[in-house]
A and B are shown apart, each in its own frame.
Chain A
């Protein structure tokens, strides 16, 4: 493009905007709304993922040992278990230690325990897992294996929520994907229609341009640029709104205090911000492409 064409393109962009300002604002708003929804999903998704990771740190298996198992048997068993695939460390809690721990947890109510004549608590192994093995399938398998040792009375791990939660996460993942695609397609559709309207409003002018020897790219250029700018503005709008909402939300949550000790609600990362901007631009580009192609074909 030479300077003359660039100036002409800029002039026509201004003209387009002045001719149909609301249409252009609507297009920007639509892209903004789409990215707002997308952004919400990304934030929810990354934070839920974080939460799962935090919880996964806590995944460990507790195996309760039958009363009357000798020290030697116990040491051997500990060795066997620590050699199992995925086991990082096995630590032993004796009956006495278990009681002490319970007393500590109960604090001032620990006097309730004074009335006990025998220690009802079992000794146990706490089995820490290798990081990569901390998932539902492995935990289930390992627990079953450990439960088969005759010295073991019972095995405990956070079975119920682990199941439910990983189910929920894969559902959430799929749902975000579907919703994301639908929102994306809808936005592209709305955008291409908005641009289609501006094109239709100017069809005489565009026809005349073609008749006097303007190339398609000369005709298309202002629409593309305009839409890319709208896409960027829409994304920026969405990101600003998201950030505002996020801050309000965080302030509310912090009022509830230490609940969040191990889990910090994150905003979009810089990469995700760039990704949102990119999505906005892609939407605008696709919208322009579709509508211009349709228009120039006729």
Chain B
């Protein structure tokens, strides 16, 4: 049985992600240590922390790329410990991910990389090209449609990764250091896109070690350091 309980806060907002006493060990020493966090629907959240703090590891737990060693994570009220294997793809369609290392398929064109998400989800053939053009325009890269990722600059690849994460109109967008390779203009463009998605109701979680970025965007910030999470402003 899937434990599917949806909780709401006082103002009636849904708890879209709930993390209870989560530990993650790769070796004997925990990478994540007793993490507790609740993310509300349509929240904009930063996870800030230095390199090696465990940000990527934490995000990977959220879309079930990794499993917790101890504790529980609920996404949309679904316990990720108990989710059957065949349901994982459905979970992932609700979560768009901008990977720190982009994870683009290098022998697919930009178009094919992005369209893949929609094909896998079984969208109608008519809709796919329209939507792919749309997200590419949003990241300012509609000219690169037929290019291969390796031919693009690091910043361009990063924006393609953002476009791919957004293309499926996910409920939750996880962005792991999404502006690491970007100059100020490109970075602004990516955050404009995030803001647009946020306005449409998407929950956005951005992991970064860029302190400057934190001051630029209005969002709740939790910090992660050596596997410990510190929540300054509670809900």
Contact = CB atoms under 8 A, between A and B. Distances in A.
Contacts of A15: 107
A218 B120 contact: yes
A210 B89 contact: yes
B121 A213 contact: yes
Contacts of B97: 211-212
A167 B178 CA distance: 77
Given A4-B119, A8-B119, A212 B92 contact: yes
Contact of A215 (B99, B103, B120, B125): B120
A115 interface: no
Contacts of A2: 122, 124
Label chain A's interface by main secondary structure.
helix
A213 B128 contact: no
A213 B89 contact: yes
Contacts of B128: 4
Contacts of A212: 92, 97, 116-117, 120, 164, 168
A270 interface: no
Residue from B63, B89, B99, B123 having most chain A Cβ neighbours under 10 A: B89
Interface string B158-198: 00000010001000000000000000000000000000000
Interface stretch (A189-197, A201-209, A255-263): A201-209
Contact of B93 (A3, A209, A213, A216): A213
Interface residues of B, number: 27
Q: In the complex, which range does the number of interface residues on chain A fall in?
A: 20 to 34
B34 to A, nearest CB: 27
B125 A213 contact: no
A7 interface: yes
A3 B127 CA distance: 12
Contact of B168 (A4, A7, A8, A213): A213
A163 interface: no
A214 B120 contact: yes
B105 A205 contact: yes
A209 B89 CA distance: 10
Interface string A1-23: 01111011000000100010000
B216 interface: no
A214 B122 CA distance: 9
Nearest to A18: B107
B86 interface: yes
Interface string B104-148: 110110000000111111111100100000000000000000000
A213 B120 contact: yes
A18 to B, nearest CB: 10
B105 to A, nearest CB: 5
Contacts of A4: 118-119, 122-125, 128
Interface in A58-105: none
B155 to A, nearest CB: 20
B16 to A, nearest CB: 17
A204 B113 CA distance: 13
A210 B116 CA distance: 11
Interface string B53-80: 0000000000101000000000000000
A211 B65 CA distance: 8
B85 to A, nearest CB: 8
A208 B121 contact: no
A2 B93 CA distance: 17
Interface string B80-105: 00000010011011000101000111
B165 to A, nearest CB: 9
A3 B125 CA distance: 7
Contacts of B90: 213
A19 B106 CA distance: 13
Residue from B65, B108, B118, B119 having most chain A Cβ neighbours under 10 A: B119
A209 B103 CA distance: 10
Interface of A: 2-5, 7-8, 15, 19, 204-205, 208-216, 218
Given A2-B122, A209-B120, A213-B93, 20 more contacts: A2-B124, A4-B122, A4-B123, A4-B128, A8-B116, A8-B119, A204-B105, A205-B107, A205-B108, A208-B104, A208-B116, A211-B99, A211-B103, A212-B164, A212-B168, A213-B117, A213-B120, A214-B120, A215-B89, A216-B86
14 contacts: A4-B124, A4-B125, A8-B116, A8-B119, A8-B120, A15-B107, A19-B107, A204-B105, A210-B89, A211-B65, A211-B97, A211-B99, A212-B97, A213-B168
Interface of B: 63, 65, 86, 89-90, 92-93, 97, 99, 103-105, 107-108, 116-125, 128, 164, 168
Task: List 7 tightest A-B contacts by C-beta distance, closest first.
Answer: A214-B120, A213-B92, A213-B93, A8-B119, A215-B89, A212-B117, A205-B105
